[in-house]
């Protein structure tokens, strides 16, 4: 049976100065990468510098793992910036250079992925640029058509698409591509029709949005991000946009993280009617369909303490506590029987059904005290709950009441109840410590509904998140 971190018993302190367990470098890197928008403030400070130190250390011992983590983060968990950082570090560290070309190919989902990788490299390390990075980016650029080059040309950026051509000097496939790149260098590419160019040219009004919606050229994420603008413009074909948002196939193709629906919901909460909320709720529900079910009784405990109230990004109104609640509610939908708690310095049992509204309920979190993670286990003992597993969603910054890791209380529950439960700890901030260790402990990280896959994987002995990344392959 797979047991994540079974031998990790090194005690340390968390950022509050309270007892915790240290994480080994790979586990720490995974949690940092899958819970971070790079260079974004968190409650306990931006951990980007610490993450970069961890990246460099892991590359020296296992560059293949870092390469796979970069692609996994980009393709499976839809994390962009951190995948660029990982790729740039692979190019900089001697041990990572042999894996750069494949990594660049793996993380390039949009045209601006390559400009972002190069911009980070130059801003962090300067010149000279490693040949491995130039070759990797050059090979990817050979697959770009005129639309991609023009859409992501980066006119307002310090590093533009045409700069990449000069820096990497890729060899064109044929005369047609040579001519295309010449037009890119001379800034003579045909202007693509995108929602950005149309709004810039014609303004945020009903006529512009009617044209864009009818054209089908507004991507799914762009519809979510612009939903407030669309509602305010009042286009006659609004229903067509809402039908796209709730369309099951469109939702699946979009691969949106669940909090994106929550962000759109919050942005229109003061101006929208039930039809809009219904579309967003349907989309959120579709996005988590076909997840593996969890049999027996599952306790889900969500940390709503003060440190969870920081926003996940300076450009987002979504709080970490809301992400935690949303993931917890998603988890409740796949359980045969679920007991749902929220806790800070107190604990509350929440009446959650498998059909509870995801988006509305995720915004109902009137808490914000300290963090006493022992409370779920103590409440389970008081109420004589016969659980098969416990899922904790937290930033792991325990700071209240007890001067020992929470593992002590998990062990006490096992002993008193006679239930050899699994403890699945979902890390949402990546500060680099954990509260649990040993057999039947599974450390997971991230804001994606896919974290629940690794709960089932661990319990049936198919491996942990870290092992999945180590075995990850892509085309």
* Model confidence at 365: pLDDT above 70: no
Where does the pLDDT of residue 48 fall: very low under 50, low under 70, confident under 90, or very high at 90 and above? confident
19 beta partners: 13
Question: For 156-174, what is the mean pLDDT?
Answer: 96
Lateral strand order in the sheet of 441-445: 347-350, 335-343, 294-303, 389-394, 422-427, 441-445
Count Cβ atoms within 10 A of the Cβ of residue 460 and give its class: 0-12 exposed, 13-18 middle, 19 or more buried.
exposed
Kindly report the CATH class assigned to 294-470.
alpha beta
Alpha-carbon distance values, 6 to 9, 56, 99, 352 (Å)? 8, 25, 30, 33
* Model confidence at 189: pLDDT above 70: yes
* Model confidence at 43: pLDDT above 80: no
> End-to-end distance of the chain based on CA atoms, in angstroms?
29
Q: Could you state, in order of their start, the residue ranges of all structural domains in the chain?
A: 25-185, 216-286, 294-470
CB of 338 within 8 A of CB of 298? yes
| C-alpha span between 155 and 158 (Å, rounded) | 8
CB of 166 within 8 A of CB of 133? no
Q: Percent of the chain, pLDDT > 70? A: 89
How many residues are given for the chain? 475
Count Cβ atoms within 10 A of the Cβ of residue 412 and give its class: 0-12 exposed, 13-18 middle, 19 or more buried.
middle
Question: How much is the pLDDT for 40?
Answer: 43
**Residue burial 46-64, b: 16+ Cβ < 10 Å; e: rest:** ebbeebbebbeebbeebbb
Q: What pTM was estimated for this model as a whole?
A: 0.79
Among residues 159, 87, 164, 70, which one has the least CA distance to residue 119?
Answer: 159
Q: HSE on the CB side for 12, CA within 13 Å? A: 17
């Amino acid at each position: 049976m797979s047991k994540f971190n079974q031998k990790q018993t090194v005690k340390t302190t968390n950022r509050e100065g309270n007892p915790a367990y240290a994480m080994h470098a790979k586990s720490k890197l995974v949690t940092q990468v899958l819970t971070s928008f790079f260079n974004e403030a968190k409650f306990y400070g931006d951990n980007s510098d610490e993450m970069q130190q961890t990246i460099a250390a892991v590359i020296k011992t296992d560059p293949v793992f870092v390469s796979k983590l970069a692609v996994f983060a980009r393709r499976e968990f839809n994390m962009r910036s951190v995948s660029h950082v990982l790729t740039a570090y692979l190019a900089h560290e001697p041990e990572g250079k042999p894996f750069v070309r494949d990594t660049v190919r793996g993380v390039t989902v949009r045209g601006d992925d390559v400009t972002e990788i190069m911009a980070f490299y130059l801003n962090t390390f300067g010149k000279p640029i490693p040949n491995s990075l130039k070759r990797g980016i050059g090979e990817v650029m050979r697959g770009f058509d005129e639309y991609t080059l023009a859409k992501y040309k980066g006119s307002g950026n310090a590093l533009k698409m045409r700069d990449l051509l000069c820096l990497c000097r890729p060899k064109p496939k044929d005369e047609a591509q040579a001519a295309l790149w010449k037009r890119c260098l001379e800034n003579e590419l045909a202007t693509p029709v995108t929602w950005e160019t149309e709004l810039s040219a014609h303004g945020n009004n009903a006529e512009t949005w009617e044209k864009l919606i009818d054209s089908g050229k507004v991507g799914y994420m762009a519809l979510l991000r612009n939903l407030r603008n669309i509602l305010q413009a009042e286009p006659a074909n609004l229903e067509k946009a809402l039908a796209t948002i709730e369309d099951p196939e469109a939702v699946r193709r979009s691969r949106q993280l669940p909090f994106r629906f929550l962000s759109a919901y919050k942005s229109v909460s003061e101006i929208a009617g039930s039809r809009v909320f219904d579309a967003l709720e349907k989309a959120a529900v579709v996005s988590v369909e076909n997840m593996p079910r969890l049999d027996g009784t599952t306790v889900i405990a969500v940390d709503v303490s003060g440190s969870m109230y920081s926003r996940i990004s300076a450009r987002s109104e979504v709080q970490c506590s809301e992400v935690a609640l949303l993931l917890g509610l998603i988890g409740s939908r796949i359980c045969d029987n679920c007991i749902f708690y929220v806790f800070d310095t107190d604990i509350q049992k929440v009446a959650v059904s498998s059909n509870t509204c995801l988006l509305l309920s995720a915004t109902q979190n009137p808490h914000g005290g300290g963090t006493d993670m022992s409370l779920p286990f103590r409440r389970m003992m008081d109420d004589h709950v016969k659980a098969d597993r416990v899922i904790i969603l937290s930033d792991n910054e325990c700071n209240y009441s007890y001067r020992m890791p929470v593992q002590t209380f998990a062990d006490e529950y096992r002993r008193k109840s006679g239930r050899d439960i699994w403890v699945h700890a979902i890390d949402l901030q990546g500060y680099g410590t954990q509260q649990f260790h040993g057999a039947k402990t599974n450390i997971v990280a991230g804001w994606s509904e896919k974290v629940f896959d690794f709960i089932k994987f661990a319990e049936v002995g198919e491996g942990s998140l870290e092992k999945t990344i180590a075995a990850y392959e892509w085309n």
